[in-house]
Structure 1
């Protein structure tokens, strides 16, 4: 009821423990707090907050238009709703190394368990589009060092993302993730890997957890969790999947309404009121309200 029963520190420690176990952790992307609660209810291991989803939710393209305030606000809303660890897309850190440091502390205060900072130029572009540019290695290393130095909870996961694969090739990506780990990154996110062979190469190159991005309509082949685990991947994100499915259903519903004048044919496909109330824990709120009312009545 209300907020998560698990503290941010406990979520961070649990994420560290599970990453150390060697299992593959599934982090679907939440497009709002309610979807985060559904992700937990379905037994996933974590929740992802995607910059692309936040941009789309605001009616904006994913080209670096969102602000730290917007990202932190949505991250806090989602983190308070779930007992799962929340991993957040912090883009380029919203500026120079000092901005990166502030981003880390603001997101830490928002209750997230981890975040990733990337090596694209600022403002960035969607990682699966043409026209990306990356900063030089020294600048990328400074961003990671600033992020690591800024955190106050040592369990806050600082992940380094690199987009160099699509620009300079796999060998450059492998070299860069090694250097970013040397700069202090706790985990790495090699964006736009082509297939499991490339992911295996990155996993062999570093001794920290590797994240795979299974986004639809992108550059990467969509792999199963078994294939990812066999490649050595430790975290998989599905950043935009739930938003795409929800928006696809919404568009089809509006087409039905326009064509037939009613949504009655789609009622069997809708989430029921009972199921929604289960996710919202209406019963828990009612019990609390009854207890307070009864206690107040006795006190009078």
Structure 2
């Protein structure tokens, strides 16, 4: 005997003698619905994370606008954001600011490159041998704690007035930061992994190349990020006071001296964008090369 099939459900029809089958209501399974909800939530959280980074800049501009509109500070000392952005736009379109921007960026990168090339190998050597590090620890901490700007007179005596002295003092300041962080990263490599490599018969060179080097990478990138920021700060100050013919530091101090405060604030904004861009660049490099950090 064949199994009987239940008649299909009907819905009202204009013809009373006929019956139209009701449309089938498709319902997703509970597992599929839960997966879809999780995916939608992840997309929402990702979008929210991208928008959150705008909160800081918008808050700063909002406070700046309120302070200027309410005249908490004299308009002669604090122009409103719109006037500053207009001045910045004019400088960008006329090309007047590009030479100064390029000069500062090139000096900063030169100083950082010198610091990285000299600092990373020295930091590795010091970090790999605690006895050597302890013997020079006082000198490193002493100069690292001394403001780089206090070293200007010394570098002027040694290198004279000019771009070379600016790059040299910035490279020295960044070198100390990179050296310290690389040495710290090597010294604090997880001993369990080092011991495991040695138990498996790895030589000292293999332990360094395959364990200590990678263990120190996160702290090395911290040193690189802080080092490039330090190089930029010192270059800006050096451009202001060590006979520079161009650069953002020179542009800022020139605008201040002629009381062109809109131009001064616009130049400060450009300098901040340069520093932020360098920091984001090294963060991206760190995420790319150190994906396993913390695992």
TM-score class, shorter? under 0.3
Whose helix proportion is higher, 1 or 2? 2
TM-score, normalised on structure 1? 0.21
The structure carrying a bigger strand percent of its residues is: 1
> Which of structures 1 and 2 has the bigger CA Rg?
2
Q: Which has the higher contact order (CA 8 A, sep 6+)?
A: 2
